[in-house]
Amino acid sequence: MPSNKKLLVLPGDGIGPEVMAEVRRVIDWMGRRRAVTFDIEEGLVGGAALDAEGSPCSDATVARAKAADAVLFGSVGGPKWDGLPFEKRPELGILRLRKELGLFANLRPAVVLDPLVEASSLKPDLVRGLDIMIVRESTGGIYFGEPRGIHTDAKGRRVGVDTEVYSEDEIARVARVAFDLARKRRNKLTSVEKANVMQSGRLWRAVVTEVGRAEFPDVELEHMYADNCAMQLCARPKQFDVILGSNLFGDLLSDLAAALTGSLGMLPSATLGAVDPATGKRHALYEPVHGSAPDIAGKGIANPCAQLLSFAMLLRWSFGLEEEARLVETAVERVLAGGLRTADIMQPGMARVGTSVMGEAVVRELEKLAA
Known catalytic residues are 143, 194, 227, 251, 255
The one-letter amino acid at 362 = V
Is beta strand 149-152 parallel, antiparallel or unpaired with respect to 131-137? unpaired
Q: In whole angstroms, give the CA distance from residue 326 to residue 269.
A: 16
Q: Is 84 in the site for ligand NAD (CB under 6 A)?
A: no
Q: Considering beta carbons, is residue 229 or 293 the nearer one to ligand NAD?
A: 293
* Region near ligand NAD per CB under 6 A, out of 142-150, 183-191, 286-294, 329-337: 286-294
The one-letter amino acid at 160 = G
Q: In whole angstroms, give the CA distance from residue 130 to residue 238.
A: 6
Query: Contact with ligand NAD (CB under 6 A): which of 56, 141, 250, 265?
Result: 265
Query: Contact with ligand NAD (CB under 6 A): which of 41, 42, 91, 210?
Result: 91
Q: In whole angstroms, give the CA distance from residue 267 to residue 290.
A: 7
Q: Is 293 in the site for ligand NAD (CB under 6 A)?
A: yes
Q: Is 302 in the site for ligand NAD (CB under 6 A)?
A: yes
Q: Is 296 in the site for ligand NAD (CB under 6 A)?
A: yes
Query: Contact with ligand NAD (CB under 6 A): which of 264, 274, 357, 363?
Result: 264
Q: Considering beta carbons, is residue 77 or 245 the nearer one to ligand NAD?
A: 77
DSSP per-residue letters across 83-145:
TS-GGG-TTHHHHHHHHHTT--EEEEEEE--GGGGGGSSS-HHHHTT-EEEEEEE-SSGGGT-
Query: Contact with ligand NAD (CB under 6 A): which of 106, 344, 358, 359?
Result: 344
Q: In whole angstroms, give the CA distance from residue 289 to residue 270.
A: 9
Q: Is 294 in the site for ligand NAD (CB under 6 A)?
A: yes
Interactions with ligand NAD, residue window 113-172 (CB under 6 A): none
CB of 346 to ligand NAD, least distance (A): 10
**Other CB atoms closer than 10 Å to residue 196's CB: what's the count?**
10
Task: Name the DSSP class of 195.
Answer: T
Q: Is 270 in the site for ligand NAD (CB under 6 A)?
A: no
Residues at the site binding ligand NAD, with contacts judged by CB under 6 A: 15, 19, 75-78, 91, 94, 264-265, 287, 290-296, 302-303, 306, 342, 344
